Structure 1
Amino acid sequence: MLEWQRIDKKPAIAGLALILLMFTTHVEAGVFGWFKKTELELSPEVNGTVTLHNKPVAGATVHRYLTYSDKKFNDSAITDEQGHFQLPVKIAKLRVSPMFDTTVTQTLVVEHANSRTEIWAAANLNTLNYDSIRQLLSSMQCELTSPDMRLEIPMRNPQSPPLGVVSICTFEHDEIILEKELWK
């Protein structure tokens, strides 16, 4: 007859656990890195002036709506007597997936006299953190009676197609706009 010997499994289990621990710490930066949260700039500082028939609009609320995948962030500012408003840089700690594209949006809406007017809308995959957006949003002049314009602005990589933005505003740094046309 065959006699079975009892094998001590403790050293084998400890060795397997050590191998798994070493493997996951090396892989974590790659495949599993999206479990970690990363600080992302969802919007630069926004400075602008709201006018109606070329007169400053005081007391209007400027809403900023930002999304990153299914995460939503909202804040607002009130225009002063000269129609000026300012929204701070918005940074959020989010899980970023290197394996999947994520939709990112920025929208600015002015609420005044029982009406809402969208003054800026941009959307892209993964990020909207571009120097061109930062420059445009640093000084906006938003006349509420202006028509929607479709703007094409440069992305970080010159080989990438330009980013499309819709806005009613004019900008101090409009020299960076590649193309401008009425939005139909």
Structure 2
Amino acid sequence: MLFLVAALSFLVFIIFSQQVMADMFSWFKKYDVHLSPAVQGTITFQGSPVANVKVFRELTYDKEYLDHAITNHDGFFTFDEKNIRSRRPGSAFDTSKRQVLYVDYNEQRYLLWYFTTLNASAAKTLTEKMQQLRCELTQPETTYELPNHEYPDHPHGVTGICSLD
């Protein structure tokens, strides 16, 4: 009987200690973080396409990721979806992610899109809007409040010159 109690105690100890070890080292686990959906848009100036200009995409989470696309003769540009693996979402010190699109044209910087969030996954509304950006450089920056399908009580705030309607 004493042997059975000792064996069960040892088994409970092993199971409990493995759970403690898993919790203690969960900060080593990497998570998928969605930085940006695929982006498609056009850039115009006074209604005419802006060709051969660099559109910059700056994504920030843990560190900064910068890439660019060049508009074609119709002012059209694209970016691929961007995802990373990070330990940050499992941390008590998780931080927000930031998406910025901008273009430098005629010695002026234009903010096409600016968005920040604490959510590490894709957002349906933002994915849809970023597939059809229409950016007229003569438009003033506007802040939009977009519906958040995933968390309806927390709408998305996006700033830029692109039409999101």
How would you bin the TM-score normalised by the shorter chain? 0.7 to 0.9
Q: 1:9-44, CA deviations, whole angstroms, 9 ceiling, x for partnerless residues?
A: xxxxxx8xx84x96245652x564232122221000
The Cα shift of 1:86 comes to 0.2
The Cα shift of 1:136 comes to 0.5
Q: Computing the radius of gyration over CA atoms, which structure comes out larger, 1 or 2? A: 1
Q: Percent identity?
A: 36
Q: 1:130-172, CA deviations, whole angstroms, 9 ceiling, x for partnerless residues?
A: 10100100011000110111111122122x221211021113x
The Cα shift of 1:126 comes to 3.6
- Check the 8 A contact 1:48/1:86 in 2, yes or no: yes
- Check the 8 A contact 2:33/2:121 in 1, yes or no: no
Q: Distance in 1 between matches of 2:33 and 2:120?
A: 8
Q: For the aligned residues, what is the CA RMSD?
A: 2.2
- Check the 8 A contact 2:31/2:90 in 1, yes or no: no
Greater RCO, 1 or 2 (C-alpha within 8 Å, sep 6+)? 2
Instruction: Give the TM-score taking structure 2 as reference length.
Output: 0.82
Q: Which runs of 5+ in 1 are unaligned?
A: 1-14, 175-184
Q: 1:71-93, CA deviations, whole angstroms, 9 ceiling, x for partnerless residues?
A: 11111100000000000000111
Residue 53 of structure 1 is aligned with which of 46, 66, 73? Answer: 46
The alignment partner of 2:90 has SS state of coil
Q: Which runs of 5+ in 2 are unaligned?
A: 1-9
Asked if residue 72 in structure 1 is aligned to residue 90 in structure 2, the reply is: no
Q: Say how many residue pairs are matched.
A: 152
Cross-structure match for 1:111: 104
Q: Distance in 2 between matches of 1:27 and 1:163?
A: 38
Residue 140 of structure 1 is aligned with which of 110, 126, 133? Answer: 133
The Cα shift of 1:103 comes to 1.3
Instruction: Give the TM-score taking structure 1 as reference length.
Output: 0.74
Gap change, CA 1:73 and 1:85, over 3 Å in 2: same
**Equivalences for residues 6-155 of structure 1 within 5 A:** 19=14, 23-25=17-19, 28=22, 30=23, 32-68=25-61, 70-95=62-87, 96-127=89-120, 129-155=122-148
Cross-structure match for 1:177: none
The alignment partner of 2:125 has SS state of helix
Cross-structure match for 1:3: none
Asked if residue 166 in structure 1 is aligned to residue 154 in structure 2, the reply is: no
